[in-house]
Amino acid sequence: MIGALLRFYSYLYHLALALFLFGLSLVVIMSHNPTSGGSHATLQLNLGMLPWKGQELTHWLLGAGLLGLVSILLAWMGKLRFLFLLYALAVFGVMLRGYFVSSYVFSGKDEFRMALWLTTGAFLAIFGAWSQFRKKRGKRK
């Protein structure tokens, strides 16, 4: 029962994150208008907790969002479940490194709290991704 709840939480957490990353990167990509002749500014992402900048960051977010969606779908279908666990571990690792190990500076206590909640949520989601490998117990007679 607890494993099923953790799995549900993990799927939901990473689904929300993957959709956010995918959507954010699509907005930035769609804002690029090569026919404007440079008269319109394009959106540029700047996420200081991540090691990438500019267009490279946009492509990493797009890839991470797609990988998250694919890994969730495959794990939900019972295929390549290890991919979802690897994705969950990578998300936690990037958050931990980006927010707390790097030289990233928080703009205030609210941003620090948000980073703490997001990273804690990613940590808990690892247990849900791991729980899909537990053997199901048979019903006792």
Q: Is residue 41 part of a domain?
A: no
Q: Is residue 39 part of a domain?
A: no
Q: Which two tokens stand for residue 2?
A: 């607890």
Give the model confidence (pLDDT) of 7-26 as tens digits.
999 999 999 999 999 999 99
Q: Is residue 76 part of a domain?
A: yes
Q: Which domain holds residue 55?
A: 2-33+47-131
For range 110-131, the mean pLDDT: 96
**Alpha carbon separation from 6 to 10, 19, 105 (Å, rounded):** 6, 20, 32
Confidence check: pLDDT of 41 > 90: no
Contact criterion met (CB below 8 Å) for 121 and 48:
no
- The residue ranking higher by pLDDT, 46 or 100, is 100
Q: Is residue 63 part of a domain?
A: yes
Q: Would you call 68 helix, strand, or coil by DSSP?
A: helix
Rounded Cα gap, residues 54 and 50, in angstroms: 11
Give the model confidence (pLDDT) of 55-88 as tens digits.
999 999 999 999 999 999 999 999 999 999 999 9
How large is the C-alpha radius of gyration of the chain?
A: 18
Q: Is residue 85 part of a domain?
A: yes
Question: In the chain, at which residue ranges do the beta strands (DSSP E only) sit?
Answer: none
pLDDT of 113 reads 97
Q: Is residue 138 part of a domain?
A: no
Q: Is residue 55 part of a domain?
A: yes
Q: Which two tokens stand for residue 103?
A: 């030289």
Q: Is residue 137 part of a domain?
A: no
Rounded Cα gap, residues 129 and 127, in angstroms: 5
Rounded to the nearest integer, the mean pLDDT of the chain is 89
Q: How many distinct structural domains can be found in the chain?
A: 1
Using a pLDDT cut of 90, give the percent of the chain over it.
Answer: 73
